[in-house]
Chain A
Amino acid sequence: MIELKGIHKSFEEKAVLRGVDLKVEKGESVVVIGGSGSGKSVLLKHIIGLLKPEEGTVTIDSTDISRLDEDGLNELRKKTGMLFQSAALFDSMNVWENVGFGLKRHTSMTDREIKEIAVQKLKLVGLTGVEGLMPSELSGGMKKRVGLARAIAMEPDILLYDEPTTGLDPIMADAINDLIIKMREKLHVTSVAITHDMRSAYKIADTIAMLYNGVIIARGTTDEIKNTSDPVVRQFIEGRSTGPIIIEGIER
């Protein structure tokens, strides 16, 4: 279970998160929606300890992660996989070395065994015959799949997705959505995805939460969010440029 309580985070005077509360039950799939620059990535990075809150706590399976030392945090990270928006593959390593990186660092497996597992994880995300390629030789959709294979290589309990479908064509985006659903069904993971792609949100979420002005302004099941009367959420999910949401740099 993941619980964020009163998370505040700012960058040089700019308050990005102003008291975020979010609870994710074991095995649940939560999607956080919100505009570009609203702090979704910042929120996600708090769950895996890449950023530290100025105020508030992140609790995972009843441990406050700010109390963990480096080793403790690393143990937690071994049980958490993260897919980055840009995939963030290591460009000095080929595909199977990327996927097997965690295994190489944290287990005593031989390269052969690691490669075998990498190939198997790649297959799970629908990629075959790419294990020897370099990241620069892959398309955007393939990179995301390799990133996903890397995230699941250590068989995590928690998966975090940063805009898994952004920048992909609609068919590839849907294929990634299917993969995310498959991950949950096959691996029984708890997952948090952030996106502004509503099609994707509806498809993969049990619960949708909306981040706006640094706080979670709404939270509900997919159907509840679809039928919400909150004007801010309505404007966002319908994708209208007119409404209560203030867009920086656009005057009306």
Chain B
Amino acid sequence: MLVRLIEFFGVIIVKPVEGVGRALLLLGSVLKNIFKPPFDIRNIFGQMLEIGVNSLPVVLITAIFTGMVLALQSFTGFKRFGAEGLVGSVVALSMTRELGPVLSALIVTGRAGAAMAAELGTMRVTEQIDALETLATNPVKYLVVPRFLSGTIMLPALAVVTDIVGIIGGYLVTVVWLGASSKAYMRATWDFLKTDDIYSGLIKSCFFGAAFTLISCYKGFYAKGGAEGVGQATTGAVVFSSMTILISDYFLSAWLFK
């Protein structure tokens, strides 16, 4: 009984640690291969298109409604102590520092991260990754590097779009719907917003992009056991990426905004 219990905890502790270790090894291999020619420009552009451009519609809709609800909530709340004038600042700061990077990262994880894990997982269980190796092609360089690069490049771009569209959403609700002054809203937006807010948001985005692509590719790359394994890899990719994004968000914020 005691032994069983110890073994049980052993498994609980070793499994995630082993996973983290292997994911870090994959990261090492990615970093080693990023600067090694030949560079797969076409492949990287394809992935950038997939991650960035194809995620745009969902990101836009999420961003505008987030900005809108943020404005609506803070407007009605702030009205109680006569601080409606600060709505623009609240929207701008929350979007650039927090919501822009995190929301875009979570959405792209659900779309592109899941797709990556499923695609690489299928390639693994149908021996396509082995086939790449037999054709003298490093599968990390061919499959993981382009995804990793595109994620790290495209997430900050999507975060900027989210920031801007969210602020526009806030403007629509505050000015057009609730009838506040347009000039006051714009001033509140710019007055308190520092370039540091935007930069630190973008640094977070880069990190999220690197993290979700690495985790999703890792899950797919080491998928096992047929269709079921691919399903598990996909679920795992989304769950672990989302958790990593949310947890690291706290620590990155604590570090960047101290």
Contacts and interface: CB of A to CB of B under 8 A. Distances in A.
Residue from A80, A88, A90, A91 whose CB has the most chain B CB atoms within 10 Å: A88
- B interface bracket (residues with beta carbon within 8 Å of A): 10 to 19
B40 to A, nearest CB: 10
Contact of B136 (A45, A84, A91, A102): A102
Nearest to B46: A92
B54 interface: no
B136 A74 contact: yes
Question: Interface residue tally of chain A, by bracket?
Answer: 20 to 34
Contacts of B128: 88-91
Contacts, number: 50
A91 B127 CA distance: 11
B138 A84 contact: no
A243 B137 CA distance: 45
A77 B136 contact: yes
Contacts of A45: 130
A105 B135 contact: yes
Nearest to B122: A91
A84 B127 contact: yes
B121 to A, nearest CB: 13
A32 interface: no
B7 interface: no
A48 interface: yes
Contacts of A248: none
Contacts of B131: 82, 84, 88-90
A162 B132 CA distance: 16
Contacts of A90: 123, 128, 131-132
A195 to B, nearest CB: 17
Interface string A102-121: 10011000000000000000
Contacts of A70: 138
A82 B133 CA distance: 10
A41 to B, nearest CB: 9
Nearest to A90: B128
B73 interface: no
B135 A77 contact: yes
A80 B135 CA distance: 8
Interface string B113-130: 000000100110011101
A80 B133 CA distance: 11
B195 interface: no
A194 to B, nearest CB: 14
Interface of B: 119, 122-123, 126-128, 130-138
10 contacts: A45-B130, A50-B133, A78-B136, A80-B134, A81-B134, A86-B127, A88-B128, A90-B132, A105-B136, A106-B136
